[in-house]
Structure 1
């Protein structure tokens, strides 16, 4: 990356959408522009868990405006992440392509723990670089993230299914605030926090930090109405509770600092925050303005320079699942060589797929820690469902599909939409595993692999093939596997010159 590159982060939350544009100068970020759209996407979910057509229309309109601002930026300089509503919406497969078309860039639906990791990165970069252990609390529109970390490293990350939009709709649907409703909302929120108490109680951290809309809004209200001198305090929350009960309705709340775009969700957000104070032993919470979008920017900057958290995750998974590192490296090197032979000069355009193939090859044997038989299925399951810091859901699905396809029948991909480049990657990984079945550091054969109109041709040294009868037999079986899905794989043995 050049010293004056422009990058952008898009945070598609359940309450609001945010766009942040920044310039990277010598490893530091300098903000250039920001946009916010209050869409309350979480309120657009119907009884079946589907996003309504009206909400989708609002989503598309907001992303079209973001798309105009992002127009002209290279794809590698923009990262858009979507959180809880995208995660839980049952019709996301329908509206996600529409959203990506409106924005003009891919949208990553990230898991709750990945959201928490990125939130901490954003918060940490806006706080003093001290060694104290911090509890960071982010109450969003659809979920709440909890993180314990020190400096720029997070130690524990969790995400729970409660947010200010959902809680306000459930317990204060008409805006009426009563003591019974408030106590019920807080009790339900305490129940959601209960399983996390052992890991996130006050004995595990030294300072509590709040970030994002709910925490900032509550802090503004408490400070501007002289209910708390700085940040959020237990006594300030008690005083705010009485003011809310006295008003009886969100529209009757007359409070300095209560913005119109937060009024409808203030009661639900208050109940969740009070539950967090009660269950986690919080007495005072300071506020930071670093949040998810800032974390996405810093993570994007690191991906494009010397550090990519996904590499650390791959390394951790290799150790966690006792992967044979030497074999993984052999297969990876061969798979990348085969893929480049197929893609030729088009490889730079397939940089994302090549990156995924590289990581899939390194992790293709993680399932052996469960069972040798059908290990590729176990590997695919792990890569699809495990928490993998740095990876989006889509990336994990791509890894899972590559690993699932590297062994066994190819008919399991029938009905799936697989691009020509993905088939190339699948063939490259299958052949690499086949050539290194012996798990020895042997010199691979001289070969030529080309794509043709209806399949592939692999030309290989006849002498090497004669000296490796097991591999020759495996290649015969491989041609049958491809024939079963209507693809021709020809293996031609020729004498080396």
Structure 2
């Protein structure tokens, strides 16, 4: 999907910080100093390589550049346990394009992370060493917990005063993260403190790439689709029992937030967009009736219809229905009346974290402690 340039609202606007990070030794020594510094975040996932560069503003940050490419890094990983050479070549080419963008622009702080594919692959560390040697970038493999935290950080601005809890799901290429979140009352928050707290999380080794490879064409049939729904629901019910989420939902004040290509596609279909437009989707709350209808419409399209749809396209045709099956399981286990759609994720979470840490030095220490636990 295209990354439209636009403004994202922050909880706290960042302030300048004179410190500049070291650039990787292989690439010209340092990032350039800028009077209006930009922050950059890179997310190397199982299916996509994404870069986001943002510059602070009075009300948040402005996206000044972005990059997104489907690389299918996790292709074949489920069957071999290793990253395949063609997949690594595609990812290195995308990362080289990101490095070119980064090294031509003044950057104040930069973070790069790698997720499920590199966590699971036997040759994940060797691949990242190759990435550093060939591009100068050094993505850090993060835990499933930190992945959930970053998704939570990016979506926290979508929470409202009436929310007591939030249930956030991120359907990725190689895994699905579910975060159960406490929303502290606004009057009780310390300056610089996060606006949401992670109560619990679960990472399912079921993402759109792994499910597409395993289930294949069966997801285009009712029987195959519902088999995936039931498998995912079994994992979710165990998580529900631990945290009594259903009970909290019945008490009210729980918001369901979804962040992934699956959810934004559902929103694009529900809103009947002639082409996908992020400003019309990000932060939009859909009545569940609309979301359910969109899911049914996507399933009814079949492979040819999905490939031709302006919110899907041929590159994503194999991944949409596996993702919809994961969403349907979430919808079945936790029948909330509405879904808030977030076209944001780890990159936005990293930017928000860096900017908040610059404004509130105490938040930097707290962030560092979270990153190593």
**Shorter-normalised TM range:** 0.7 to 0.9
Cα 1:296–1:73 shift into 2, 3 Å: same
Superposed counterparts of 1:377-396, under 5 Å: 389-391=370-372
Q: Deviations 1:105-154 (Å, cap 9, x if unpaired)?
A: 321111111111111111113x2552512222211111222222427222
Show the counterpart of 2:352. Answer: 298
- Partner in structure 1 of residue 145 of structure 2: 113
| Kept after mapping to 2: 8 A contact 1:71/1:104 | no
Q: How do residues 66-215 of structure 1 correspond to structure 2 at under 5 angstroms? A: 66-71=98-103, 77-125=109-157, 127=158, 130-132=161-163, 133-147=165-179, 148-150=181-183, 152-158=195-201, 159-171=203-215, 173-174=216-217, 177-198=220-241, 199=243, 200-201=245-246, 203-204=248-249, 205-215=253-263
Contact 2:39 2:107 in 1 (8 A): no
> If the length of structure 1 is used for normalisation, what is the TM-score?
0.57
Choose between structure 1 and 2 for higher RCO, CA contacts under 8 A separated by at least 6 residues.
2
CA contact (8 A) 2:38 2:106 kept: no
Give 3-state SS (helix, strand or coil) of 1:264's partner.
helix
Q: Is the contact made by 1:190 and 1:275 (CA closer than 8 Å) also made in structure 2? A: yes
How many angstroms apart in 1 are the aligned matches of 2:217 and 2:68?
A: 26
How far residue 58 of structure 1 moved from its aligned partner, in angstroms, is 0.4
- Secondary structure of residue in 2 paired with 1:146: strand
CA distance in 1, matches of 2:55, 2:338: 35
Match of residue 97 from structure 2: 65
Structure whose CA Rg is larger: 1
Determine the C-alpha separation between the residues in 2 that align with 1:146 and 1:97.
30
Residue 9 in structure 1 maps to residue 49 in structure 2: no
Check the 8 A contact 2:37/2:106 in 1, yes or no: no
Counterpart in the other structure of 2:361: 307
Q: Matched residues in 1 for 2:342 and 2:219: separation?
A: 30
Gap change, CA 1:306 and 1:97, over 3 Å in 2: same
Q: Which runs of 5+ in 1 are unaligned?
A: 315-387, 397-497
Question: Which residue of the partner structure matches residue 190 of structure 2?
Answer: none
User: Retained in 1: the 8 A contact 2:46–2:172?
Assistant: yes
Partner of 2:113: helix, strand, or coil?
A: strand
CA contact (8 A) 1:113 1:389 kept: no
Q: CA deviation at 1:286?
A: 1.6
Indicate the residue corresponding to 1:217 in structure 2.
265
Q: Secondary structure at the match of 1:90?
A: coil
RMSD between aligned alpha carbons?
2.9
Partners of 1:109 and 1:285 in 2: how far apart?
Answer: 30
Query: 31-40 vs 233-242, which deviates more?
Result: 233-242
Q: Secondary structure at the match of 2:366?
A: helix
Q: How many residues align?
A: 314
1:192-341 alignment to 2 at 5 Å? 192-198=235-241, 199=243, 200-201=245-246, 203-204=248-249, 205-224=253-272, 231-236=285-290, 238-240=292-294, 242-244=296-298, 246-247=300-301, 249-253=302-306, 255=309, 257-307=311-361, 309=363, 311-312=365-366
| TM-score, length-scaled by structure 2 | 0.75
How many angstroms apart in 2 are the aligned matches of 1:202 and 1:48?
41
Structure 2, gaps ≥5 residues long? 1-16, 19-34, 185-194, 275-280
Change (3 A) 1:259 1:284: farther
CA distance in structure 2 between the partners assigned to 1:188 and 1:9 by the alignment? 34
Q: Is the 8 A contact 1:303 1:309 kept in 2?
A: yes
Secondary structure at 1:21 match in 2: strand
In structure 1, C-alpha distance between the alignment counterparts of 2:109 and 2:292, rounded to whole Å: 45
Secondary structure at 1:390 match in 2: helix
How many angstroms does 1:390 deviate by? Answer: 2.4
**Match of 1:43, SS?**
coil
Tell whether the 8 Å contact from 2:40 to 2:107 is kept in structure 1 after alignment: no
Query: SS at 1:35's partner residue?
Result: strand
Give the 3 Å change call, closer, same or farther, for CA 175–67 of structure 1 in structure 2. farther
Give the deviation of 1:190 after TM superposition: 0.8
